[in-house]
Amino acid sequence: MPSDVTIDELRQRLREISDLSAAASVLHWDQTTAMPTGGAVSRSRQLALLGRLSHERATDPELGVLLDRLMPYAESLPSGHDDRALIEVAQRDFDLAMRVPAEFSERAAGHMSKTYAAWLTARPHDDFVAVQELLETTLELSREYCEFFPDSDHIADPLIDAADQGMTVARIRPVFAELRTGLISLLDHISNSKQVDDEPLRNHFPAAQQARFSTAVIQAMGYDFDRGRLDPTAHPFMTRFAHGDVRITTRTNESFLGEHVFVTIHEAGHALYEQGTRADDDGTPLGSGTSSGMHESQSRLWENIVARSPEFWSYWYPKLQEEFPKQLQNVSLQEFYNAINRVQPSLIRTDADEVTYNLHVMLRFELELDLLEGNISIAELPNTWHERYRDDLGVSAANDRDGVLQDVHWYAGFIGGAFQGYTLGNIIGAQLFEAALHDTPEIYAQIARGEYQPLHDWLRTNIYRIGRRRTPDQLIADVTGSPLDAKPLLNRLQTKFSKIYPE
Amino acid sequence: MPSDVTIDELRQRLREISDLSAAASVLHWDQTTAMPTGGAVSRSRQLALLGRLSHERATDPELGVLLDRLMPYAESLPSGHDDRALIEVAQRDFDLAMRVPAEFSERAAGHMSKTYAAWLTARPHDDFVAVQELLETTLELSREYCEFFPDSDHIADPLIDAADQGMTVARIRPVFAELRTGLISLLDHISNSKQVDDEPLRNHFPAAQQARFSTAVIQAMGYDFDRGRLDPTAHPFMTRFAHGDVRITTRTNESFLGEHVFVTIHEAGHALYEQGTRADDDGTPLGSGTSSGMHESQSRLWENIVARSPEFWSYWYPKLQEEFPKQLQNVSLQEFYNAINRVQPSLIRTDADEVTYNLHVMLRFELELDLLEGNISIAELPNTWHERYRDDLGVSAANDRDGVLQDVHWYAGFIGGAFQGYTLGNIIGAQLFEAALHDTPEIYAQIARGEYQPLHDWLRTNIYRIGRRRTPDQLIADVTGSPLDAKPLLNRLQTKFSKIYPE
């Protein structure tokens, strides 16, 4: 059994990897919130260097030797011991990093940044042809990545596993299929009901007042501004530099009230997860969210389950009216609640309501699989996109800008593994919230009083503080006693929307 | 003679050092402008890591081998050839870095950060005793540093050379002595003249309006906001991340108008230097200011020579009055001009006027030499400080907070080499401006019209674009035909202040 010095050596090595990634995250945050245009070229170079240094350390053969030496020690410890968890998670990260040759990663990164630059121009010009060949190479690269994992059942599994450990096509497909059937039937019911409108949300709502309101909300949720900050960006995100510095960004639409506050709460949900990890896990791989889907479960839980509930607004709506007395004086709580929950099939995923959102996501997930499996070609992608939108959502874009060019994901990364996390997040969020309600039945009554600490504490204890000690599957099972299951989400949406759309 | 690949290899290595330093600068900028308090501990760790990685590369023996291989090539080139300059400057930096053992640098850095933390508490508590022992160690470390350069004439020379290449105690002392005599005589004249008052500057001046005005001024000077930005901090500074990203920070005093605009112009002066280097020098040691003193010459040239001139305000004062109509309606241009140039011996260096400022600096410089030479001890420092203030400036602080605890320099770095650059900057700035006036006699007329491009172009051509191709001495000689000389500064101050204080 190795001496303490060796586990310290592991911690030291992991902290260096973590600190280099954090430094890169600071540079990226600065790039989107502060950097003048003239800084772009040097910033890419600086980020590439930090990425390379961090990757070199993550694949340092000496790290492998150290882990080999520590493994007998890990196995001598009871399952769940912190040292054991640390060694096992570090081993997984090391194995994953070692599977993919540095030459490939650099080649792929170079291609992605070229493709991203092309997409930035192609999208506003509605010019799919300009990126088609690049996207063909992306598809080849995505297949090449998967070939580094020849033991996978489905070609897409390695890309899915990289984001959502343990998830596979075989496991996801039936769960998504059940959800899809349920959602399409719910959407059918809603289409035949009396429609609600979101006119109350359309007016002029000055950015400063929206920001003041959102800040009060996320502070009440428990977002700690001593360990974070909120800034405007074009594309909102959450980023962690350390346990003590977890930042979020948001965007504001001054002519539509139904956006900024939910985007901000969404990102704050991600941030609560990172701020709620254990301080002594900082700088180790244990101290962060355990997967894309699990992270999204937290952002969606706060955004949708909490902040689109009638209880939430029974507390906050009077305060929102104080902020916008002229715009909201003649809007009742019920009208406001209906407006923020209006269901309307549309073209753009990120603007979608709770019911149609997952249809957008699952459509992309299936397209990824079809592309990887070779069922459709990149050339066929734009039309297939439009067809499936007609089939699933009954709408179709007149162009590719709001079609296949809409999301950045395929133009900045692999095809495959990019989208399932969003719907997994909604599914898992509903499962976890059901468990929280079971343990603390008064959660909704507390939300109606603007009290979030009991829910926040429950999440901190059961999810946040676990970090990466448990895989997503283990964590779902620990907390809910069940495997991944679409029913809680479906039940929640059916109950909620049959009230908003009663006939 | 080596192939092109080798000089490219040198550029590649130097760029990596530069990019790592730039990344650290971004983290530092963020620390002072944006970082929440919770980020402090991890940020120190991240900065220490980047510092170590950059130092490892700067002292990589393979860099030494590469430079050895390149030196015959450099010597085969005409003096002034870009490759030759690059190799020579890189060699100087490498030699300097190699002289100081990594063990010492880390020990010193650890001590400095402990001392800085202690000073942060000691200063507001006026508690010199709390830092006395730490400062004794700092003095020992400063001597130890100098011992790595056993071929120096004066013990302080290595510390001075590190900041102001080529400068020595033997060269600085007579120039400073001449300046000191002249300033004390000028101050004597001023004390016996009719005093001017700065009451017009004391009122309420909202920060947003001050910022708007300063922004207009530095934009007119030529500060390029597409390659920079301006943010508030407690302690203003300029920082360069790349040729395309040179940022400045400033502070605002809402009850005194004579601070913010000059601080902002000062930092913009530093930034014009960095923004004006050659774009193709970016990422190499050629692409930055050549010394502390030369850098300060640029900030002071813009702050004092340009922006405290009557011509400058004949253009800007009406605009300032528009910004603050109520506060300035009854203040004439002459009264305003006198107020911003009021001479008043005081305790605080950074608040000092043009005449007394250099007395503050030279007093510190002499204290550094006395400490290093062993003429006075750290224990005697507080009282010696008070005595010399009485002698030179006729004022004396009732405490050490505004005495020896006032400047951060000795509590965050070595004793020695920290202060001479400020006065060298004022001296050099006056010399350079005299040369600029000689080449372009209409500069003041242009300033009176708000036109700075001719001056800016002259500085860009003669100073900024040279970068580190020339040492400070070479650059002064190139531009002025003279060595370092206090007379232009003395002449300028005597002429200017005999008008403001005529009797």
Which sequence positions of A are flagged as catalytic?
267
Q: In CATH terms, is domain B4-99 a member of 1.10.3470? A: no
Q: Which of A316, A393, A342 is nearest to A496 (CA)?
A: A342
Tell me which residue has tokens 């999208």.
Answer: A123
**pLDDT tens readout for residues A42-64:** 999 999 999 999 999 999 999 99
Q: What is the pLDDT of residues B5-38, one digit of tens each?
A: 689 999 999 999 999 999 999 999 999 999 999 9
Contact yes or no for A379/A132 (Cβ under 8 A): yes
What does the pLDDT read at residue A355?
A: 97
- Compute the half-sphere exposure of residue A291: CA atoms within 13 Å on the CB side of its CA: 31
What is the reported pLDDT for A5? 63
Q: How confident is the model at residue B503 (pLDDT cuts 50, 70, 90)?
A: confident
CA B16 to chain A, closest CA, distance in angstroms equals 7
Helix (H, G, I), strand (E, B) or coil at B111: helix
- Average pLDDT on A461-485 reads 97
Q: Which of B103, B140, B147, B267 is catalytic?
A: B267
Q: Which residue of A has its CA nearest to B45?
A: A19
- Model confidence over B407-446: pLDDT tens digits? 999 999 999 999 999 999 999 999 999 999 999 999 999 9
Q: Is the pLDDT of residue A408 over 90?
A: yes
| Exposure b/e, A264-278, CB count within 10 A at least 16 = b | bbbbbbbbbbbbbbb
Residue B106 confidence class, pLDDT cut points 50, 70, 90: confident
Measured CA angle at A458 (ends A457, A461), to 5 deg: 80
Going from the C-alpha of A246 to that of each of A9, A401, B132, the distances in angstroms are 26, 33, 38
Side chain identity, residue A41: V
Residue B237 is predicted with a pLDDT of: 97
pLDDT at A100: 93
Task: Decide if pLDDT at A120 tops 60.
Answer: yes
Give the pLDDT confidence score for residue A1 in this predicted structure. Answer: 52
Q: With respect to CATH, is domain A199-344+421-471 assigned 2.60.40.1180?
A: no
Q: Is A36's CB within 8 Å of B226's CB?
A: yes
Q: Is the pLDDT of residue B2 over 60?
A: no
Q: Tell me the domain boundaries of chain A.
A: 4-99, 199-344+421-471
Percent of chain B at pLDDT exceeding 70 = 99
Q: What is the mean pLDDT of chain B?
A: 96
Encoded amino acid at B174, one letter: P
* Averaged pLDDT for residues A220-246: 97
Task: Answer whether residue B301 shows pLDDT above 80.
Answer: yes
Contacts of B45 in chain A (CB under 8 A): 15, 19, 283
Which secondary structure element, helix H or strand E, spans residue B151, and what is its range? none
Domains B4-99 and B199-346+421-485 share a fold: no
Flag whether pLDDT at B450 surpasses 60. Answer: yes
Q: What's the average model confidence in pLDDT over B277-303? A: 96
Closest to A267 in 3D by CA, of A51, A103, A29? A29
Please give the helix or strand (H or E) that residue A195 lies within, else none: none
Torsion sign, CA atoms A383, A388, A390, A396: negative
AA identity, residue A62: E
Q: Please check the confidence at residue B4 and state whether its pLDDT lies above 80.
A: no
Q: A266 and A250 in contact (C-beta within 8 Å)? A: no
pLDDT in tens, B167-215: 999 999 999 999 999 999 999 999 999 999 999 999 999 999 999 999 9
Residue of A nearest to B24 (CA): A23
What is the model's pLDDT at position B102?
87
Identify the closest residue of chain B to A227 by CA–CA distance.
B38
Q: How many residues does chain B have?
A: 503
- Residue pair B355/B193 in contact (Cβ under 8 Å)? The answer is no
Q: How confident is the model at residue A10 (pLDDT cuts 50, 70, 90)?
A: very high
B455-469 pLDDT per residue, tens: 999 999 999 999 999
Residue A403 reports pLDDT greater than 80: yes
Quickly count: other Cβ atoms within 10 Å of residue B68's Cβ.
10
Amino acid found at A413: G
pLDDT tens across B77-104, in order?
A: 999 899 999 999 999 999 999 999 989 9
User: What residues of A are in contact with residue B36 (Cβ under 8 Å)?
Assistant: 225-229, 244-245
Best residue of B25, B43, B52, B247 to probe chain A, by most A CBs closer than 10 Å: B43
Instruction: State the average pLDDT over residues A401-421.
Output: 96
Active site residue B267: yes
Q: What is the pLDDT of residue A2?
A: 54
Fold of the CATH domain B199-346+421-485: Neurolysin; domain 3 (1.10.1370)
Provide ipTM, 2 decimals: 0.93
Segment A167-188 mean pLDDT: 97
pTM of the entire predicted model:
0.94
